[in-house]
Amino acid sequence: MRETRGTRGTREGRQGKGDKAILVGLNNVYGFMHLDYLGSYLDMKPVTVVVTGVGAPVGVGIIKSLRASKLPLRIVGVDSEPLAQGLFRVDKAHLIPSARQNPDAYFEALVKTSQMEGADILFSGWEEELLMLAQRKAEFEEQTGTILPLAPDPTLKALDKWLTTQVLQAFDVPVPDSVLPTDQEQLANFRRKHAYPYIIKPRRSSGGKGLALIHTDQELAFFSHYIPDPIVQEQLLPDNQEYTVGVFIQTNGKPGGTLALKRSLSGGLSYRMESDHNTDACDIAIQAATAMGLIGAVNVQMRLTSTGFKVFEINPRFSSATCVRANFGLNEPELSIRHFVFKEEISPPKVKKGICLRFWEEMYFPLLAKSAAQGGQYQYRGHILRQF
């Protein structure tokens, strides 16, 4: 195992001027100017960060947030898809086995990559691996010396929507009325209290996957068998008052920052977001995250109803809006590095109001980039049409 991370500011030597120029250049390539912002961090050796799932919106959002950071960083991206776009945006790319096809080989590849690259911390950009990472956190950190910034047991609870509602209710966090359709007595009570339509979705999913709005007894019966291990919830109205709230929780349980975004959804992703300084949403998100016992970056989703906010989901991870919150002042990947690697106690940063409109972005490559990527070579950087 490598040295303890908390002493990075005094170990491993100092950077030269050339290294500083490279770091500043990397930030400038992505449109961020931090010459007046880098400060004392410039004299440190770059922190090596492994980001997984860099072909997905969350992984790419983490990379964007890291590029916006004031810290000197070296970003290593991993994915099982050769043409995952994030592999072309990082300082070092690794093509690894598919977690779906071979979870053990995937885990061993994460270990090997972290060892080879001397990684200080690993950020998960793909929710489907969180169960494995939580279960094998101690094994991973022991073999690599790389920090995995999550609390295993709370993470496992938060990945289960039913367990989440039970924990939050116990701590008086407002949640939608929920029931398991396999419990016929409780389901009958639920139906007496609530009129259709209902929400039904898998206990373990994200991004609206498997979610259905049901209107009849026949649909309830069908989807209760069609959806694996489902949970039924009251529909929260109005549906145009939804918030996604980012919270950073330190290892001592204290919040290190929060930012609420009122959002509009399409395909499970936020495409229009407004940072409106909604302190009520932030307070409830902090209450929910701490009730669960989570640490690090936490995403709390809620709706504002006629009786107040109700939390309907907690994601124990970075979200697709991570880079949006970074732009508005809450850079959760940077806070994670400062807290978990540098051992800083975080004071909540000031955040800005504003609106984000999200749209597709294209990268263009020569055809040779495909065969090179399939061989694990990422010398082609791609071209983004900036004039748009």
**Each residue's pLDDT tens digit, 141-182:** 999 999 999 999 999 999 999 999 999 999 999 999 999 999
Check whether residue 37 and residue 135 sit in a common domain: yes
Average pLDDT, the chain: 90
Check whether residue 200 and residue 318 sit in a common domain: no
Q: Using DSSP bridges, classify how beta strands 198-202 and 121-123 pair: parallel, antiparallel or unpaired.
A: unpaired
166 found inside a domain? no
Check whether residue 368 and residue 335 sit in a common domain: no
169 vs 253: CA distance, rounded Å:
19
Residue 7: the pLDDT is 45
Higher pLDDT, 306 or 15: 306
Check whether residue 347 and residue 369 sit in a common domain: no
329 found inside a domain? yes
> Which of 169, 201, 232 is the endpoint of a domain?
232
Check whether residue 140 and residue 38 sit in a common domain: yes
Residue 360: the pLDDT is 84
Domain count, the chain: 3
Check whether residue 18 and residue 128 sit in a common domain: yes
Check whether residue 194 and residue 273 sit in a common domain: no
182 found inside a domain? no
Q: Does residue 152 contact residue 296 with C-beta atoms inside 8 Å?
A: no
pLDDT class of 39 with cuts at 50, 70, 90: low
Check whether residue 206 and residue 272 sit in a common domain: no
Check whether residue 367 and residue 349 sit in a common domain: no
Residue 6: the pLDDT is 44
pLDDT digits (tens, 9 = 90+) for 227-271: 999 999 999 999 999 999 999 999 999 999 999 999 998 877 888
Check whether residue 58 and residue 125 sit in a common domain: yes
Residue 13: the pLDDT is 36
Check whether residue 322 and residue 367 sit in a common domain: no
303 found inside a domain? yes
Structural domain including 346 reads 238-357
155 found inside a domain? no
Task: Assign residue 143 the CATH number of its domain.
Answer: 3.40.50.20
What average pLDDT does this structure show over 348-356?
97
The reported pTM is 0.88
Check whether residue 127 and residue 252 sit in a common domain: no
